[in-house]
């Protein structure tokens, strides 16, 4: 890859060159991390060899260095789980409120905030593509593009139905309420080799943007809606001031959705051939967030759980992401 970057004309295609450079930087960082661990292991072995009967203070220093080394090694081991075909890609994250009325719309907005906080905490860039607000509170739907190294790899654990149990702030009796929202995670794909998108299959509409965004947004036909007629997939974008930018963003989302549809159809066909096919059901939640009568967030696939629900809703998702990737790797090894 380093040799590629020195070739004549490498920067003629800026987009492709930037992608290769980014991947090269990631690989270099991983190599440096491994080399640093090897160096520290040798230093630690040498330090232990300096004394036969270590005093408590010396032993405590060795233990401290060992645990720090173990932490660094575990972080690199976790990175090795991010080896999927699209794990390094940026991601389109879509949230839709489900059963539960206004409470569900409020819950969808809570999830939106959680993922925006997670992005901010971990150095990812999040851009709102589309958001439809509820009449009373919360949101009906939102689409966010999250960019950064391994964005899809980390966030793939979040795809599915999320369930909230709490005392409802939207009824006078403050009754216990269960609400649902679905999260969709799609890798950003530059080109889809498996599916050809013909311009004649696209119906493109422009309209006046609504909601927050300032005077300009609300007085020009900058919002874009694209319908892919063969699949009937519809995407909208109104986050940018320019109609052209909104169209480009909408096409990015459309490609991700069409690619996801293709992968799901391929998977369903394989499962049918093996006699394993099950239709997707709305009720199969992947994670429950209980705020009342006790506090607990539990992933129903990996069984990972925590009682610190507030921390999770503030974007602390690392434990869930790590346990999902390890669970996924164990499933893959069982199939082999």
Q: Which fold has domain 199-274?
A: Double Stranded RNA Binding Domain (3.30.160)
Nearest to 236 by CA among 197, 196, 208: 208
Residue 325 has what pLDDT?
A: 93
Residue 272 has what pLDDT?
A: 62
Given a contact cutoff of 8 angstroms between Cβ atoms, the answer to whether 205 and 222 are in contact is: no
**Average pLDDT in the chain:** 85
Residue 281 has what pLDDT?
A: 44
Residue 108 has what pLDDT?
A: 96
Antiparallel, parallel or unpaired: β 285-290 and 160-167 = parallel
Q: What value does the mean pLDDT take over residues 44-71?
A: 76
Q: What value does the mean pLDDT take over residues 322-327?
A: 92
| pLDDT bucket at 291, cuts 50 / 70 / 90 | very high
Q: What value does the mean pLDDT take over residues 43-53?
A: 73
pLDDT in tens, 63-79: 888 888 888 888 788 77
Q: What is the DSSP letter of 177?
A: E
Residue 212 CB coordination number (10 Å): 10
Residue 280 has what pLDDT?
A: 40
Q: What value does the mean pLDDT take over residues 161-165?
A: 94
CA dist., res. 226 & res. 254, Å (int) = 8
Q: Which two tokens stand for residue 261?
A: 């549809």
Given a contact cutoff of 8 angstroms between Cβ atoms, the answer to whether 162 and 181 are in contact is: yes
CA atoms within 13 Å, Cβ hemisphere of 238: 24
Residue 271 has what pLDDT?
A: 63
CA atoms within 13 Å, Cβ hemisphere of 179: 28
| pLDDT bucket at 180, cuts 50 / 70 / 90 | very high
Residue 216 has what pLDDT?
A: 43
Between 78 and 90, residue with greater pLDDT: 90
Q: Which two tokens stand for residue 100?
A: 């539960």
Q: What value does the mean pLDDT take over residues 190-196?
A: 71
Give 206's contacts (C-beta < 8 A, 6+ positions apart): 221, 222, 223, 224, 225, 243
Q: Which CATH class is domain 91-188+293-335?
A: alpha beta
Percent share of the chain, pLDDT over 70: 88
Residue 283 has what pLDDT?
A: 54
- Cis peptide before 153, with omega less than 30 degrees from 0? no
Locate the domains of the chain by residue range: 2-80, 91-188+293-335, 199-274
For 29, list phi and psi in degrees, rounded to 5.
-60, -40
Residue 217 has what pLDDT?
A: 46
Q: What value does the mean pLDDT take over residues 204-228?
A: 71
Q: What value does the mean pLDDT take over residues 199-226?
A: 73
| pLDDT at position 270 over 80 | no
């Amino acid at each position: 890859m380093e040799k590629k970057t020195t070739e004549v004309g490498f920067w003629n295609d800026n987009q492709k060159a930037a992608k290769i450079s980014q991947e090269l930087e990631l690989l270099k960082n991983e190599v440096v991390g491994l080399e640093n661990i090897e160096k520290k292991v040798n230093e630690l072995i040498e330090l232990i060899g300096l004394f036969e009967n270590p005093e408590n203070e010396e032993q405590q220093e060795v233990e401290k260095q060992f645990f720090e080394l173990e932490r660094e090694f575990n972080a690199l081991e976790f990175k090795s789980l991010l080896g999927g075909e699209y794990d390094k890609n940026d991601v389109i994250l879509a949230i839709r409120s489900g059963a539960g009325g206004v409470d569900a719309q409020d819950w969808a907005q809570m999830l939106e905030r959680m993922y925006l906080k997670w992005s901010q905490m971990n150095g990812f860039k999040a851009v709102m593509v589309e958001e439809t607000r509820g009449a009373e509170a919360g949101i009906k739907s939102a689409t966010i593009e999250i960019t950064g190294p391994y964005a899809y790899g980390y966030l793939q654990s979040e795809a599915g139905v999320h369930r909230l149990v709490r005392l409802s702030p939207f009824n006078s009796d403050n009754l216990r309420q269960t609400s649902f929202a679905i999260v969709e995670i799609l890798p950003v794909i530059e080109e889809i080799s498996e599916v050809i998108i013909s311009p004649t299959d696209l119906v493109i509409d422009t309209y006046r943007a609504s909601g927050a965004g300032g005077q300009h947004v609300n007085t020009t036909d900058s919002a874009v809606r694209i319908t892919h007629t063969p699949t009937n997939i519809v995407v909208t974008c109104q986050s940018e001031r320019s109609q052209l930018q909104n169209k480009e963003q909408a096409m990015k989302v459309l490609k991700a959705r069409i690619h996801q549809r293709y992968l799901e159809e391929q998977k369903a066909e394989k499962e049918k051939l093996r006699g394993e096919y099950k239709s997707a059901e709305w009720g199969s939640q992947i994670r429950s967030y209980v705020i009342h009568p006790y506090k607990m967030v539990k992933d129903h696939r990996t069984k990972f759980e925590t009682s610190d629900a507030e921390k999770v809703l503030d974007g602390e998702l690392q434990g869930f992401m790590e346990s999902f990737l390890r669970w996924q790797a164990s499933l893959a090894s069982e199939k082999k």
